[in-house]
C-alpha cells in the first residue's frame, strides 16, 4: 500500500497573543565572496592551455637530422648557422631558411667539427642550457597549482573554524518565523482529539500566564506516534502555522555525520538558537534516527549516534522551564526509542495518531477532492466505507489515481468507476489486459470466486459482498470484495468462524464442481491458517488449549521481519496442541463450506457461468442468483455490469 503525505481539514484554533521576552537581533548574513573568485578556475585553465599550446604553434617544428646528415649538409655548404648546447644538442638553419636539430656524439672530439664549421663560414653560437623558458615554466606549473590549492583550502578551513567544527557543527534547522503563512489546523481533517491536545501547546506558548496562575507547567516535549501516512508531519506544519512563535524544523538524520561529535554540536546549536528566539517550538521529524535504544551493538556510527542522543537528553532536561521552548517530535517506531527519552520531564506526552476511521476518511476525501470535478454518482461516504485501513496518504493517492484514470479517458470529471478502478489498482495491482487465461483456467477462477461470493452472502456474520471479478490484476487472478457495514474494533467468535468459512469457500467450490483443487487457493489457505492460529494461540478460542494467550510479539508500526527461529514462550507439547487445534478449525470450516455449497450447488454453477460471460458482477447480482432468479435475463445482465 502506498505511503505518502496527506492533507486534512478541520477547525482553526485561535488564542490571544502574549509578547515574549525581547529577542536578540538576528545574526548578520555572511559577506558575499568577491566577484573575481568565480573566475579563478576558468582563468587558470585558460592560462595552462596557452602555455601548453602556444609553443607548439608559435613556429614550425625544426627538422631532425642525424649527425651524418648534418655533416653531409655541412660539406655541401647548406648550413648557415648553428647553436651548440652544453650537452651536445645542435640547433641551426639551412641556406633555404629551414630549421633543423641534431646531436653531437659525446665520444667524438669536437675540434675537427669546429674547424670544419669555420672553413664553411658557419655562424657558431654556444648556449649553456638546451631548454627554453617555456619548459622551465611548465615544469614548475604543477607545483604552483598544488600550492595554490593548499592555500585555498587552508583559508576555507580557517573561515569555517569560526562557525564550529570545520563548519559541520552548525544546526541545519529550518527557521520559520511567525509571519510566514503555513498550514493551519483547518487543513487537517478529523483527529479532533489530537488537534485539541497539540493545540494546548500552542495555547501555552501564546498565553503562559494563564497556566502559571493555576500553578500548571507546560509540557516540555510532545511525541506524535502513528503509522506512516497518518499526517504526523502535516500536524507539525499545522502547529507552525497556528503558533505565532518561531518554529525550528529539523529531521533526525540531519544530526548525524561521519565526524564524531558533529551531531552533539548541532544539537547544542539548535537549542541555543531556540533560546535566542524563545518562546519557540523545535520540531524533530523521524526522531528514531537519533533516539534509538543505547545498547552498544558495536556497529559503525553507534558511538556518534549515542553521543548525539546524550546531548539531546541533556538539553531537554537542562533548559529553563520558563524559557518557553517546546520540543515536538514525530516517529512511527516508538518501540525503538530509548526509555530515557520517553520519561516525564523530556517527552511529557505521547499523542497517538491512528489510522482514520470511516467518518474521518470521508472528511479526508472531502479535502482531497477540492478543486476536482466529481460526477453525481460519486458518494464519498461509500468510498470511505470501501477503504478500511487506508491512511490519509493512501486516500490522497486514491483520489489522484482516479483523476489520472479520468484524464486517460479524455474526461475532466471523476466518476465512481474511476475511484473503484483506482482502489483495485492500489489493493490488487495494475490490471493486465494481455494476461488472458486459458478456458479451463477461466472456468476454475469463476468457480473459485463464486464459492467465495455465495458463502459471503450465506454466512450471517460475514461482511456484505460488494463485487466479484475474474479479471486478473497484479498477482491475483480474481477477487471477491466485501465491504464492512461499520467500523469494527472487536471481533467475536462467530465473525471469525464465518471469516474462515468464506476464506475456504473458493477451494470448497473447486472440490465440489471441478472435483479437484488447484494452486489458486494458496493465499486463501495461508490467510485462513494465520487467522486460525491466532484464534487458538492468542484469543483463547480453543476448548482444548483453554483460556491461554501467547502473543507472538510486540506490535510494530512498520512490521519488522520476524527472526528465523522466534522464541516460543511455551513447550513443544503445547505447540503440538496448537497445530492440532488449528487443523481442526480449518477442517471444520471447509466441511461447513462444502455443506452450504451443496445445498446451493445450482446457484453456484449459475453464478460461475454468469461470471464467465460478464467477468464482473456486483453484490446485488449475487443476491439475485442466490434467490433463484435466472442469471441470463436481460435485466440481470444489465444490472451485472461494472459499477
Q: One of 449, 481, 510, 581 is an active-site residue; which one?
A: 449
Q: Which residue has the cell 471444520?
A: 588
Q: Which three cell numbers stand for residue 109?
A: 672530439
CA distances from 396 to 115, 390, 419 (A): 100, 10, 12
Question: Nearest-CA neighbor of 127 among 97, 90, 99?
Answer: 90
Q: Which three cell numbers stand for residue 375?
A: 460526477
Q: Read off φ and ψ for residue 436, nearest 5 degrees.
A: -80, 140
Q: Which helix (H) or strand (E) holds 93?
A: strand 89-94
Q: Peptide bond before 279: cis, by omega within 30 degrees of 0?
A: yes
Relative orientation angle of helices 40-58 and 133-161, to the nearest 10 degrees: 170
Q: What is the Cα–Cα distance from 294 to 306, expressed in whole angstroms? A: 6
Helix/strand/coil (H, E, C) string of 243-302? CCCCEEEEEHHHHCCCCCCHHHHHHHHHHHHHHHCCCEEEEEECHHHCCECCCCCCCCCH
Q: Are 642 and 424 in contact (CB under 8 A)?
A: no
Q: Which three cell numbers stand for residue 169?
A: 557543527
Question: Nearest-CA neighbor of 502 among 532, 534, 485, 524?
Answer: 524
Q: Which three cell numbers stand for residue 587?
A: 477442517
Q: Is 564 a catalytic residue?
A: no
Q: Are 348 and 221 in contact (CB under 8 A)?
A: yes
Q: Which residue has the cell 585553465?
A: 45
Q: Are 548 and 530 in contact (CB under 8 A)?
A: no
Q: Which residue has the cell 551493538?
A: 297
Q: Which three cell numbers stand for residue 297?
A: 551493538
Q: Specify the length of the chain in residues.
A: 643
Residues assigned a catalytic role = 449
Amino acid at each position: 500500500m502506498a505511503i505518502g503525505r496527506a492533507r486534512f481539514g478541520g477547525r482553526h484554533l485561535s488564542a490571544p497573543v502574549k509578547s515574549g521576552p525581547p529577542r536578540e537581533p538576528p545574526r548578520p548574513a555572511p559577506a558575499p565572496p568577491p566577484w573575481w573568485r568565480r573566475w579563478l578556475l576558468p582563468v587558470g585553465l585558460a592560462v595552462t592551455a596557452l602555455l601548453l599550446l602556444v609553443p607548439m604553434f608559435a613556429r614550425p617544428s625544426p627538422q631532425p637530422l642525424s649527425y651524418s646528415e648534418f655533416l653531409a649538409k655541412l660539406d655541401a655548404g647548406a648550413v648557415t648557422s648553428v647553436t651548440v648546447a652544453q650537452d651536445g644538442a645542435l640547433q641551426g638553419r639551412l641556406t633555404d631558411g629551414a630549421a633543423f636539430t641534431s646531436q653531437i656524439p659525446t665520444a667524438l672530439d669536437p675540434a675537427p667539427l669546429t674547424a670544419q664549421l669555420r672553413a664553411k663560414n658557419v655562424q657558431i653560437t654556444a648556449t649553456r642550457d638546451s631548454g627554453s623558458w617555456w619548459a622551465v615554466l611548465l615544469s614548475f606549473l604543477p607545483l604552483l597549482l598544488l600550492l595554490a590549492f593548499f592555500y585555498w583550502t587552508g583559508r576555507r578551513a580557517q573561515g569555517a573554524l569560526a562557525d564550529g567544527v570545520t563548519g559541520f557543527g552548525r544546526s541545519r534547522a529550518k527557521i520559520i518565523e511567525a509571519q510566514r503563512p503555513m498550514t493551519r489546523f483547518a487543513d487537517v481533517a478529523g483527529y479532533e482529539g489530537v488537534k485539541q491536545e497539540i493545540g494546548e501547546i500552542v495555547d501555552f506558548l501564546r498565553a503562559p500566564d494563564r497556566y502559571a496562575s493555576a500553578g500548571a507547567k507546560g509540557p516540555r516535549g510532545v511525541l506524535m506516534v502513528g503509522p506512516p501516512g497518518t499526517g504526523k508531519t502535516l500536524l507539525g506544519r499545522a502547529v507552525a502555522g497556528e503558533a505565532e512563535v518561531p518554529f525550528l524544523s529539523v529531521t533526525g538524520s540531519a544530526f548525524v555525520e561521519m565526524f564524531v561529535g558533529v551531531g552533539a554540536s548541532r544539537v547544542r546549536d539548535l537549542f541555543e538558537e531556540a533560546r535566542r528566539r524563545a518562546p519557540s517550538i523545535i520540531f524533530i521529524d523521524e526522531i528514531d534516527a537519533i533516539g534509538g535504544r543505547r545498547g552498544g551493538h558495536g556497529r559503525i556510527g553507534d558511538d556518534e549516534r549515542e553521543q548525539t542522543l546524550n546531548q539531546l537528553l541533556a538539553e531537554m532536561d537542562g533548559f529553563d522551564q520558563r524559557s518557553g521552548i517546546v520540543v515536538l517530535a514525530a516517529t512511527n517506531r516508538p518501540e525503538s526509542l530509548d526509555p530515557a527519552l520517553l520519561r516525564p520531564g523530556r517527552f511529557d506526552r505521547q499523542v497517538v495518531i491512528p489510522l482514520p476511521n470511516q467518518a474521518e476518511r470521508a472528511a479526508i476525501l472531502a479535502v482531497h477532492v477540492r478543486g476536482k470535478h466529481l460526477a453525481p454518482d460519486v458518494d464519498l461516504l461509500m468510498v470511505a466505507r470501501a477503504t478500511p485501513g487506508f491512511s490519509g496518504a493512501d486516500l490522497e493517492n486514491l483520489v489522484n489515481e482516479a483523476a489520472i484514470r479520468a484524464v486517460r479517458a479524455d474526461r475532466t470529471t471523476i466518476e465512481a468507476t474511476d475511484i473503484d478502478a483506482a482502489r483495485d489498482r492500489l489493493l490488487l495491482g495494475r490490471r493486465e489486459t494481455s494476461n488472458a487465461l486459458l478456458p479451463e483456467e477461466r472456468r476454475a477462477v469463476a468457480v473459485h470466486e463464486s464459492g467465495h461470493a455465495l458463502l459471503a452472502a450465506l454466512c450471517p456474520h460475514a461482511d456484505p459482498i460488494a463485487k466479484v471479478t475474474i479479471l486478473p490484476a497484479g498477482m491475483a487472478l480474481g477477487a471477491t470484495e466485501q465491504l464492512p457495514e461499520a467500523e469494527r474494533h472487536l471481533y467475536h467468535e462467530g465473525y471469525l468462524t464465518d471469516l474462515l468459512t468464506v476464506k475456504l469457500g473458493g477451494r470448497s467450490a473447486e472440490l465440489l464442481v471441478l472435483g479437484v483443487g488447484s494452486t489458486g487457493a494458496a493465499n486463501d489457505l495461508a490467510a485462513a491458517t494465520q487467522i486460525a492460529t491466532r484464534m487458538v494461540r492468542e484469543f483463547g478460542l480453543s476448548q482444548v488449549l483453554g483460556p491461554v494467550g501467547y502473543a507472538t510479539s510486540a506490535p510494530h508500526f512498520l512490521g519488522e521481519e520476524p527472526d528465523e527461529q522466534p522464541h516460543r514462550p511455551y513447550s513443544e507439547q503445547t505447540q503440538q496442541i496448537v497445530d492440532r487445534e488449528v487443523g481442526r478449525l480449518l477442517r471444520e470450516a471447509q466441511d461447513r463450506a462444502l455443506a452450504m455449497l451443496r445445498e446451493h450447488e445450482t446457484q453456484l454453477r449459475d453464478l460461475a457461468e454468469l461470471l464467465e460471460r460478464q467477468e464482473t458482477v456486483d453484490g446485488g447480482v449475487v443476491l439475485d442468483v442466490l434467490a433463484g432468479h435466472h442469471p441470463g435475463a436481460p435485466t440481470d445482465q444489465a444490472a451485472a455490469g461494472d459499477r
